[in-house]
Amino acid sequence: QLSDQQKMSKSPLRWLKGVYLPPALHPLNKTLVKGGKWKDVDSTQEKRRSFLHDFCKKYNSRKKLQTHLVHLVSRIYVEDRHKVLYCEVPKAGCSNWKRVLMVLNGLATSAHNISHDDVHYGKHLKKLDSYDLKGIYTRLNTYTKAIFVRDPMERLVSAFRDKFEHPNSYYHPVFGKAIIKKYRHNANEEALKTGSGVKFKEFIQYLLDSHRPVGMDIHWEQVSKLCYPCLINYDFIGKFETLEEDANYFLQLVDAPAELKFPKFKDRHSSDERTSAEVVRQYLKELSKEERQLIYDFYYLDYLMFNYTSP
């Protein structure tokens, strides 16, 4: 008997049935929302949903994605009690979202006392690709699916600052060493040995290189390739720019406990200034006009899908 995995590799498109395009725009169940203060948030939400839906209809008439279903859902976290699916976009509030999912799941009483390591390395939350095909389909078709996104340039600069401007036992030796070796002329022995001190311009050279010395990473991968928003019909589209109100509205929609509010704290490097539009401008000054244009081209789909203004 063929395993599900073997069957899928024989006919990947067969398993896309049900999540293939164009996605149906299901009305959100708003019966649990209390009070009139959510009117504006709800109106914004409906605009984002219909914008993405219309974009996907147009875009996908030209391009069909052929991807295994298991790969499509590999970034999606599952919370079975409140029937929530959350697609993780790093640098868009994902650490605090995972804390919230742990509270919803009964794994913690408060989002405020869960450590960074527990969130990211604790393996407390299940991902959708850990279920069998029937489990994946059932959840995709019946759970409330959420994605939270961020302006692509802000997300990129935030990822660079987090991974390369602070000591890091993974990103410096793995990415830093390879980046310095390939893009820094006359690099000294210390830099080549530790991989510390990568400059933003060097990082961008790596990002835009079709022959990268080391692969992509989820912290700067495009949202279109992390969450496949045109293949999975997300019910809720939150934005980092309006994170708190979007998140708290979403918690009402899924009947979260009334006392659970989305945490406001910055997960790491709390003394650092948040990556804002002004901070991004300072970093982009280090690049040529051509490089800035190429970054925009790299994240072009993310800009379009989520209606972000080109910088």
Q: What are 137-175's pLDDT values in tens digits?
A: 999 999 999 999 999 999 999 999 999 999 999 999 999
Rank 5-9, 118-122, 279-283 by mean pLDDT and report only the highest: 279-283
> Rounded distance, CA 50 to CA 56, Å?
10
Rank 8-12, 29-33, 101-105, 147-151 by mean pLDDT and report only the highest: 147-151
Assess contact for 218 and 230: CB atoms under 8 A.
no
Tens digits of residue pLDDT in 302-311: 999 999 998 8
For 88-116, letters b (16+ CB in 10 Å) and e give bbbbbbbbbbbbbbbbbbeebeebeebee
> Rounded distance, CA 152 to CA 171, Å?
20
For helices 200-208 and 152-164, the axis angle rounded to 10 degrees is 120
CA 66 vs CA 4, 132, 228, 302: distances in Å: 17, 20, 11, 19
Q: Which stretch of DSSP H or E encloses residue 306?
A: none
Q: What is the DSSP string of 202-217?
A: HHHHHHH-TT-SS---
pLDDT of residue 288: 97
pLDDT of residue 273: 86
> Rounded distance, CA 180 to CA 160, Å?
14
Beta carbons within 8 Å of 244's beta carbon, 6+ residues apart: 262, 264
Rank 29-33, 98-102, 237-241 by mean pLDDT and report only the highest: 237-241
Amino acid at 35: G
Phi, psi (rounded to 5 degrees) for 102: -65, -40
CA 55 vs CA 27, 227, 306, 309: distances in Å: 18, 16, 9, 15
pLDDT at 121 over 80: no
Amino acid at 101: L
> Rounded distance, CA 35 to CA 42, Å?
12
Going by pLDDT thresholds of 50, 70 and 90, the confidence category of residue 266 is: low
Going by pLDDT thresholds of 50, 70 and 90, the confidence category of residue 19 is: very low
Going by pLDDT thresholds of 50, 70 and 90, the confidence category of residue 17 is: very low
| Residue predicted with more confidence, 145 or 272 | 145
pLDDT at 70 over 60: yes
pLDDT at 8 over 50: no
Q: Closest Cα to residue 56, out of 224, 237, 262?
A: 224
Q: What is the mean pLDDT of the chain?
A: 88
pLDDT at 78 over 70: yes
Going by pLDDT thresholds of 50, 70 and 90, the confidence category of residue 10 is: very low
pLDDT at 227 over 80: yes
- Peptide bond connecting 22 to the previous residue in cis, omega within 30 degrees of 0: yes
Amino acid at 52: L
Q: What is the DSSP string of 2-22?
A: --HHHHHHH-GGGGGTTTPSS
**What is this structure's pTM?**
0.88
